Structure 1
Amino acid sequence: MTQVTLVDLQASLCDTAAFNTLEDYFRLCKAFLELLTRTQPTRIISPTHSNYAFFQYGESYGYKITRPLNTSLFIEHVDNFQVAFERFVAFLADLKRYQGSVVQHERVNRYLETSEVNKVVYTLQQSIGCIGDSFENANQSRKRVGQLFEILIRLIIQEVGLECEPRTIRIPIPDYPSYELSYGLDLVLSLNKALRAAETPFLHETEIVVSVKTTSKDRLDRIFLDKYLLTKLLGRDVPVIAIFLHDVQRAKVGNSIFSVSSTFKSNHFLGYTVAIVPLDGVYYVDPRSEMRMDEKLREQIRDFQTFLVRDLWSLTSV
């Protein structure tokens, strides 16, 4: 049987019809992890953050370097990942059945203690990111990597039984009847599609707007502005949450190009929260340490597993 190459994985990444199920993500991730095992690209530990590592591809790919990978979350060995993915799918089935009461089950609680939800989601998405990093021109794949993270989050939310789709709405501007504002929303979710009332063509009061980005870098202000404008123009509070993969990037420090730096701007985040409007939830698959240690940030930022297990159900039960 012909072995899958990085060129094959690049082609799969660009196939816009290829990612319709979580199983599609699993297959691509599994193929990438098998490629790592077979080809053994150079593995480099960051000198500034020992829990982050990079892979450097060979000469055929211009010695391209991947994004930093959190080794506490990235499941590098394919057999371990396959078992973890199967547990993840079983957990999503439990979540669909029990919703917010899933934490009452001891078996589920034992699973949640491992934080494996974050690990599986991180490995799925970062495998895609690493494939994207192998392109000759990084701009070829940057947008696609972001699109696939959005689709991944949508598929996970749909898997637990909620309605979740991207939507573009057109909002009339008050006092300017011939003008309307077109708004493209990453995702809109609701517990029950039937709740969408015919007299509410934009957003039903039970629906949640979800902004999904791989990083908050250069995007944070837009999300707060979305919350403010939607609330202002629709004349009621519109719940808006943000889901991010991570907020780190490779950086050069001294003579090393393998340092890791944060792209999260805590002062901006808190400033937007106070000056514009607080978001209804902010979630990271790979939260920064300051998000856990800083009291003000900890009040508003949680990990993605917490979103699935707890906050998703409290948000949609209003």
Structure 2
Amino acid sequence: MKKQLILILIFLFLLNLSGCGNKSISDTSGDDKVLLQTFDLLSKINSYELTTSRVESTTFGDKKVLSQMITEQKIIFEPFATWSRTDSTSTRIFEGGQYRSLREVYQVLNDNQIDLFMRYSPTEDAATGNEPVLGEWQKITISPKEQADLAIDMVRNNFDAQIYLLKSNIDSFKIVENDEVKDENILKYDGYLEQATILETYQKYIRKIYVEGKMLTDSENLTLEDLKNEITGGDLLEIKVGIPKLAYSEKPVPISLWIDKNTFALKKVTVDETLVMQSYTEKEILKANPDLGDPIVSKALLTYEIKSIDNLKEIPMPNEE
């Protein structure tokens, strides 16, 4: 039973995976001071609400695959509660056409256990234009307290990993000015994520989750090359997502941040995963489908729109629809 619960927790961890330096504010440049203020603000928050979108376009010979995933998410760390709703559309590469589906997940801490609710829609033909209909809630109770604590730690761990990764690459960020920024109070920073920092973040924050789930063995002596081979060369698909997946790119991964210069609030993040997905598709997708033809990934863009920070007091159970 314990192993089953851990696997459920890892499943939820995967749903959250979407992005440290020892600098202090006093010994950094003006640009870095704004970034460090933002990262410091994020490290102290108790709740946030955001919308994540992932858009990808890949061509295999004469077949074009388009996919889009939009996730609305609310998280409160204490008292613990989370909600997410994901709307996915993707090309049926062999059958033709596109399918669409919805998924909704709600978690809340009650006493020393977590009540987890999930519901899904049947996969539907997107061409019909019909809204997918979510099914009935399925409930799973996560207990005892040790398992509930692990679920909470996973959510926080993933959030801390993203901040750590940003701080590790703070020297790469530069202010840019272009037509994308319409609000004079918003500063845009362009930077990149180095592969070494991606692997370090994986080792420090993420790998331990899979060790706890008995999917990886514990080891403190892994080199960066070992970690890279574990992700990109192994057969464990569960670790080839989120931050670890970025390690597929041999080149730095471009990232942009939009920050309110008055409040230091992070408003938007974009991660260009085109090179990541090019390498991933060549190594993983063709391994399972060798007859697809050589892939060309023309777009893989991940966007976070932060709707609120520290404004949520509770996340009520969604009503049946």
Q: TM-score, normalised by structure 1?
A: 0.29
Q: Of Structure 1 and Structure 2, which has the larger fraction of its residues in helix? A: 1
Q: Of Structure 1 and Structure 2, which has the larger fraction of its residues in strand? A: 2
Asked which structure has the greater RCO (Cα within 8 Å, sep 6+), the reply is 2
